[in-house]
Amino acid sequence: MTLLKDLTIKKIHDGLVNKEFTAFELTKEFFDYIETRDAEVQAYLSLDKVGALAAAEQVDIAIAKGEEIGMLAGVPMAIKDNLLVKGLPATAASKMLENYTAAYDATVIKKLKEAGAIFLGKANMDEFAMGSSTENSAFKATKNPHDLERVPGGSSGGSAAAVAAHMAVAALGTDTGGSIRQPASLCGVVGLKPTYGAVSRSGAIAMASSLDQIGPLTKTVEDAAIVFSVIKGKDPLDATSVDVVYGDELLNPKLEDIKKLRIGLPKEYFIEGMDDYTKGEINKAIEKIKSLGIEVKEISLPNTKHALSCYYIIMPAEVSSNMARFDGIRYSRLDALQENEPKTLLGIYHEQRGQGFGKEVRRRIMLGTYVLSSGYYDAYYAKAQKVRKLIKEDFDNAFKEVDVILTPVSPTAAFKIGEKTSDPLQMYLSDIFTLTLNLAGLPGISIPVKQYEGTSELPVGFQLVGKAFREADILGIGQFYERIR
């Protein structure tokens, strides 16, 4: 069998169809590898060996019967632990949901099951997706597979690390301000945040509902396109989802079409504060893209300077609303009450929520409650929504000149574990290049500048930003970039 590190979705599909190996054999080999590798990486919170092997057997039966299988059939995947998979834990890496088992499948999970994908287990994350390093998990800190002393990024750090460490071929994550793209960059994998509304959010544990989006983390851009093509689409269970028809270009881009695209480099993103190593790697990517024959020009997104402030008003406000349902009574927290704890309703709320939520979640709930409170709503939240509109208009104006925008993903490569935990502002700055897309609802993808495995270098990714529902543009450029990388 091909080495796990060499496997892509397409290679697995070809191997299964040509009967070079079975889905059962492949899945078992992944679990054997996880048993040894994950002891140091700590990417998974829980595994589903019985369910995964049973699903793999069904794929093998279909192949034996001569049935045609889809591209994702038999593909081993990791699922971020804030996405519901019926019968599996869904903790969102929080003590608040430590005992919760999902009662139904998220819409993206239903689609992946129908496609025959294999779910190896639930991946670690920052608690309720609040963080940029996966150090905020209530259960464990995931390590970067390229350097175990460094973070994998967050909040989808477990998903990114699982793919980078070859403990899954692909994974699902969620992205509220960069939580797919930033860990993808830091771990040297591909991470796609689709357009807001392109993928149903039904069955995702909400953090900030106007910003959240589900997307894939994969080894290649082609693999990201394959997963996206399966999970996209309108869903009656998500009123914000949109019915968009994507053409053949999504999976079969043509170089002559890609060469017609113009790429903009926003001067506000290439600033002081980005380290020299990251800047150098991004410049290499830009030169490679120019060699494809694509026009590259400088553009301006003037309201970028307000984005971080705007985001950290809107996001906590929505967090404070979404976290209200976790009162310590629902979702199986009552068994955590001690004998001497107060039995009044207020007392139960106080004790249970204090024990259930971690420090970062409490911080964001308090910030959000403050900006929504009487006397501060107009001063903060209403003003931030106006700035959000200006940021969206910046992108609208830029896309009159160009088709795609290229930016860094993170100001630095992966930082040391514990380096930023005592300074929340420094941690928040990790997402300074990614959160504008969530505010504007645009698609973005993080692509590694080159192959970093086997070198002493830390991975760096660059970001391609597309027009709304033009994932095909950024996926197309990415696929041709990988061929000359």
Domain membership of residue 369 (yes or no) is: no
CB-CB contact of 410 with 458 (8 Å): no
Amino acid at residue number 222: E
Domain membership of residue 100 (yes or no) is: yes
What pLDDT is attached to residue 348? Answer: 80
Of 94, 133, 179, 200, the active-site residue reads: 179
Going by pLDDT thresholds of 50, 70 and 90, the confidence category of residue 338 is: low
CB-CB contact of 356 with 138 (8 Å): no
Count CB-CB contacts under 10 A for residue 198: 24
Domain membership of residue 395 (yes or no) is: no
Say which DSSP state 105 is in.
-
Say which residue the tokens 């309108």 belong to: 234
The answer, yes or no, to whether residue 349 has pLDDT greater than 90, is: no
Domain membership of residue 128 (yes or no) is: yes
What pLDDT is attached to residue 273? Answer: 77
What pLDDT is attached to residue 354? Answer: 78
Show the tokens assigned to 188: 């040297």
Say which residue the tokens 């391609």 belong to: 464
- Overall number of domains in the chain: 1
Show the tokens assigned to 476: 């197309």
- Is 111 noted as a catalytic residue in this protein? no
Q: How far is it, in rounded angstroms, from Cα 470 to Cα 214?
A: 16
The answer, yes or no, to whether residue 340 has pLDDT greater than 70, is: no
- Is 155 noted as a catalytic residue in this protein? yes
What pLDDT is attached to residue 353? Answer: 81
What pLDDT is attached to residue 291? Answer: 96
Total-model pTM: 0.96
What pLDDT is attached to residue 1? Answer: 60
- Is 179 noted as a catalytic residue in this protein? yes
Going by pLDDT thresholds of 50, 70 and 90, the confidence category of residue 3 is: confident
The 10s digit of each residue's pLDDT in 169-222 is: 999 999 999 999 999 999 999 999 999 999 999 999 999 999 999 999 999 999
Angstrom distances, CA of residue 186 to CA of 107, 290, 439, 469:
28, 24, 22, 26
CB-CB contact of 183 with 174 (8 Å): no
Of 80, 110, 122, 193, the active-site residue reads: 80
Range list of H helices, 90-180: 107-114, 157-164
CATH number at residue 190: 3.90.1300.10
Domain membership of residue 51 (yes or no) is: yes
Domain membership of residue 442 (yes or no) is: no
Count CB-CB contacts under 10 A for residue 399: 20
Report the percent of the chain where pLDDT is more than 90. Answer: 88
Going by pLDDT thresholds of 50, 70 and 90, the confidence category of residue 323 is: very high
Of 94, 133, 155, 446, the active-site residue reads: 155
Domain membership of residue 107 (yes or no) is: yes
Going by pLDDT thresholds of 50, 70 and 90, the confidence category of residue 429 is: confident
What pLDDT is attached to residue 336? Answer: 66
Which residue range(s) make up the domain with 205? Answer: 4-260+475-484
Report the percent of the chain where pLDDT is more than 70. Answer: 98
What pLDDT is attached to residue 328? Answer: 80
The 10s digit of each residue's pLDDT in 97-111 is: 999 999 999 999 999
Q: Is 128 helix (H, G, I), strand (E, B) or coil?
A: helix
Going by pLDDT thresholds of 50, 70 and 90, the confidence category of residue 343 is: confident
Domain membership of residue 428 (yes or no) is: no
